Chains A and B, each alone.
Chain A
Amino acid sequence: MNLKLHIWRQKNNKAAGAFEQYAVSDISEDMSFLEMLDVLNEDLIVGGKDPVAFDHDCREGICGACSMTINGNPHGPEKATTACQLHMRKFNDGQEIYIEPFKNKSFPVIRDLVVDRSALDRIIESGGYISIKTGSAPDANDIAVPKAKSDVAMDAAACIGCGACVAACPNGAAMLFTSAKLKHLNVLPQGQAEKKKRTIAMVEQMDKEGFGSCTNHYECEAACPKSISVEFISEMNFEYAKARATAYRD
């Protein structure tokens, strides 16, 4: 198939960016979206032009590195699919495709489609862990965790940290990401001791990073490659308010 691509090109964080148009031909429908970009890049390099920079690594939908907005959808049109697992058979011959970086003021562009998502790491650093030092853990079966709770923790922990939720949110909120991590740790017995502190710290770091607020569009859930539920956002709202209301006791 042949495609007309409009790709956001930006030399670095300081430079102004613009869309550039590229025509790619003889694209196999068995290619992944990133392989299609590889083909374009090979041509660009041979032609002495700069290849399109984009983040990617595992190419099997789990590392969370790939991050591009395809025709207005982070990771593209497929449900629960990262850009690296999106295949060209989902597109039509002759289609025009707009490829943009994940857009959010807290995700500054590094080059082309590569953005800096370290704000998400800083949210984790602010409290997204259970403080247990290596070697001091009790026997794993000392703490029984009801299967239902363990399953919910796993649902939340499935987050790959790609930032598509942020990129998809019309308000630029990072609430799905933050709430999923909070839920993962807050639902487990191991996470109880730090629950309140963690909730307050992570939510406030999220605000500090400048992320927006949820107005319940649920675009995040629809864009999430792991279909993480907005239920966690709702719960985070309540838990944060509760933590703030009872903080005086600590």
Chain B
Amino acid sequence: MLGFLKSNILSKFVVAITGIILVGFIIGHTLGNLLIFAGPEALNTYAIGLRDLGPTLWVVRIVLIIAAILHVITTINLVRQNKKIASGYKVSNYKASTFSARFMGYAGLTILFFVLYHLAHFTLGFVDASTFNMEATLENGRVVHDVYSMVVIGFRNVIVSLFYILAVSFLGLHLKHGIHSMFQSLGIHGKKFTPMIQKVAAIVALIIVISLISIPISIMLGIVGGQV
């Protein structure tokens, strides 16, 4: 099944397609997270709504996990090969390459560690079991997992927040290069289209970074979650 790893181009296809899935997830996830600004009721309702999807949620989760794994092992394999063949120069001097393009690998690895931590923190509850087991009562009387409080308490920890901000910034750089690269890798290129998609990628990345970073900052400044 991993035969595509032998081909550079097919590997790039896999990276691009899994990239699309992951970008889709990030956009959805960001939109969901922004509900924190609408208060505990909105966020907790959204969270339980996802849980209620049941098997569908698991399908989505499995697709995401597979996409992430393929994305990671394929890129690691490509980077390893590339490092072997290109040894670099005494003086580095770039004409076209951007920082985000050269930073893809480091950013990717940081994001990977962050995602594992993030899952452990907010999905699996390994980091702080006490906040993970908090409950809230919705307006309709249903008692649910209090995601809102968990997030707020989590982000009051300065170190957690700083790590989050750093990782999200790297994610932005990763997306800036990644979103336009997906199109190039899949063969979608045009004299007008490519510069346009490069701009779009940068804007989307920036919006995602600002949106996500606004959450811990708002919490630390006490703008959000004061009542918890």
- Touch test A–B (CB under 8 Å): yes
A interface residues (Cβ-Cβ under 8 A, vs B): 6, 19, 69, 71-73, 77, 79, 98, 100, 103-106, 168-173, 175, 203-204, 206-207, 210-219, 221-223, 230-231, 233-241, 244
**Known: A170-B97, A170-B102, A173-B8. Contact between A216 and B177, CB under 8 A?**
yes
Q: How far is the CB of B77 from chain A (nearest CB, A)?
A: 10
Bound Cα distance from A106 to B82, whole angstroms: 12
**Known: A72-B91, A219-B94, A231-B191. Contact between A210 and B85, CB under 8 A?**
yes
**Known: A173-B8, A213-B12, A234-B187. Contact between A219 and B85, CB under 8 A?**
no
Bound Cα distance from A35 to B223, whole angstroms: 68
Asked if A212 and B181 make an inter-chain contact with CB atoms under 8 angstroms apart, the answer reads: no
Residues on A with beta carbons closer than 8 Å to the beta carbon of B86? 103-105, 169-172, 212
B88 CB within 8 Å of chain A: yes
Asked if B13 and A237 make an inter-chain contact with CB atoms under 8 angstroms apart, the answer reads: yes
Residues facing A in B148-190 (CB within 8 A) are 177, 180-181, 183-190
B interface residues (Cβ-Cβ under 8 A, vs A): 6-13, 78, 81-82, 84-98, 101-102, 104, 177, 180-181, 183-191, 194
Asked if B82 and A244 make an inter-chain contact with CB atoms under 8 angstroms apart, the answer reads: no
Residues on B with beta carbons closer than 8 Å to the beta carbon of A218? 96-97
Chain B interface helix/strand/loop/mixed: helix
Contact among B82, B92, B94 with A171 in the assembled complex (CB-CB below 8 Å): B82
Contact among B91, B93, B94, B101 with A216 in the assembled complex (CB-CB below 8 Å): B101
Asked if B101 and A215 make an inter-chain contact with CB atoms under 8 angstroms apart, the answer reads: yes
Bound Cα distance from A33 to B104, whole angstroms: 35
**Known: A234-B187, A237-B187, A239-B187. Contact between A215 and B89, CB under 8 A?**
no
Residues on B with beta carbons closer than 8 Å to the beta carbon of A233? 184
Contact among A19, A173, A206, A236 with B90 in the assembled complex (CB-CB below 8 Å): A19
**17 more A-B residue pairs beyond the given contacts A103-B86, A234-B186, with a C-beta to C-beta distance below 8 A:** A19-B90, A72-B92, A73-B93, A98-B89, A104-B86, A104-B87, A105-B87, A168-B95, A204-B7, A210-B84, A211-B8, A212-B86, A214-B8, A216-B181, A237-B185, A237-B187, A244-B10
From A73, A212, A223, residue with most partner B Cβ within 10 Å: A212
Closest-by-CB residue of B relative to A218 is: B96
